[in-house]
Amino acid sequence: MLPDFANRHYHSTFTASSKPDRRPGRSLSRSPGEARYLPDQAQYGSGIVPRPAWSPILSSHLDPALHQALSEAIGQATGRRADVERATMIGGGSISRTLRIDSDDRCWFVKLNDPALADMFAAEVDGLSALAVCSALRVPGVVGHGVAGRHAWLLLDHLALRGLREGRRGADAGRALAELHRIEGAQYGWHRDNYIGRTPQFNAPHASWPAFFARRRLLPQLDLARRLGHHGKLIAAGERLADKLPALFADHRPPPSLLHGDLWSGNAASDETGALVLFDPAVHFGDRESDLAMSELFGGFPDSFYAAYGESWPLADGFERRKILYQLYHVLNHLNLFGGGYLLQAERMIARLLAEIGG
């Protein structure tokens, strides 16, 4: 069930106490869990953006270079001289530190990370810009981003958000997502690579969806799992599944829809008007079913959301089988981020898919 965060403001990730539970040993499918809160025992191997070391940031003090950069960005956005009057640490995941800053009579949302990870914010800005093309939904406005002193920073509008619930808000969100998915690209993929959590996500375009998913999604996660020490059945069976993936799509040729890419319940909400708000994207063009498959993880969305989506754009036969494949990508990513707690679940999903296609 989605945490009650009515009247809360925009956070890129929920506080650890209210996140859906992604800890090892917890089932991913429609179960409560934690967003991007990585336990201390998480694995940080090659291929995953390293967890940064942070020094405390006092609410009354910002690094001078960062203070100046944020003040200048706000000034450019508002058209008048601005100064950050107060910075307050707020809850978030372990990917980035998050602050609320106040300037004059307005407040803003800031994400901070190591300067070497500035590309993560550039990818996020690119994704938010892509989603903003869809008039049926809303994204937080980007005020600016860059590197200042010891920090890479991303400055966003501070939005008052409410959770998606049953009834009209959930239904409106389902219809809005269907409108997003009607935006199509020429091929599967994206014009740049981006990130799924802290893991690089490769998006070189391809004309074939099964080939794209095998080469840009399954195989990179399997390769990362191998480098993190997972061998044996997982790798052998996973690579066999990647080879046989076209059989799963014999009767399914989806259009390359614009996808959020990381659409779990912690990355969506509604604003004060009831409009769907999306954030923390991992955008690309792909099968719209993969967004819906991801949406069922970590508690899922309201039933009214799925009913309205289906009325707007019914799903093709075979979705329940393909859903396992799309969720497998995220299970493998969590295996690589969190460790062995997801190993058995990934192996079972691969075995079920191979059994379905005679592998």
Name the helix (H) or strand (E) containing 176.
helix 168-181
Q: Is residue 288 helix, strand or coil? A: helix
Residue partners of 275: CB distance under 8 A and separation at least 6: 137, 138, 172, 176
- Tally Cβ neighbours within 10 Å of residue 311: 12
- What count of other Cβ atoms lies within 10 Å of the Cβ of residue 313? 15
| Calpha distance 220→229 (Å, rounded) | 14
Q: pLDDT of 6-36, one tens digit each?
A: 233 344 333 322 344 444 444 444 433 323 2
Give me the residues paired with residue 268 across strands: 278
Q: Under a CB-based contact definition with an 8 Å cutoff, are residues 213 and 220 in contact?
A: no
CA distances from 204 to 194, 213, 215, 225, 282 (A): 11, 11, 10, 21, 14
Which residue of the set 262, 280, 287, 291 is catalytic? 262
The domains of the chain, with CATH numbers, are 8-21+42-161 (3.30.200.20), 168-356 (3.90.1200.10)
Residue 151 has pLDDT above 90, yes or no: yes
- Phi (first) and psi of residue 285, to 5 degrees: -95, 130
The pTM of this model reads 0.85
Q: What is the pLDDT of residue 22?
A: 47
The yes-or-no answer on residue 262 being catalytic is: yes
pLDDT in tens, 233-270: 999 999 999 999 999 999 999 999 999 999 999 999 99
Q: Which two tokens stand for residue 294?
A: 């991801």
Q: Which strands make up the sheet holding 276-278, listed edge to edge?
A: 137-138, 276-278, 268-270
The pLDDT value given to residue 43: 34
- Cα–Cα distance, 9 to 264 (Å, whole number): 18
Q: What percent of the chain has pLDDT over 90?
A: 65
- Asked if 287 contacts 320 with a C-beta cutoff of 8 angstroms, the reply is no
Q: Give Cβ neighbours of residue 72 (< 8 Å, ≥ 6 apart).
A: none
- For 345, phi and psi rounded to 5 degrees? -65, -45
Question: Across residues 52-80, what is the average pLDDT?
Answer: 74
**DSSP codes joined into one string, 29-40:** BT----SS---T
The position carrying tokens 């590197």 is 147
Higher pLDDT, 15 or 100: 100
Contact 163, 4 (CB under 8 A): yes
Contact (CB, 8 A) for 161 and 112: no
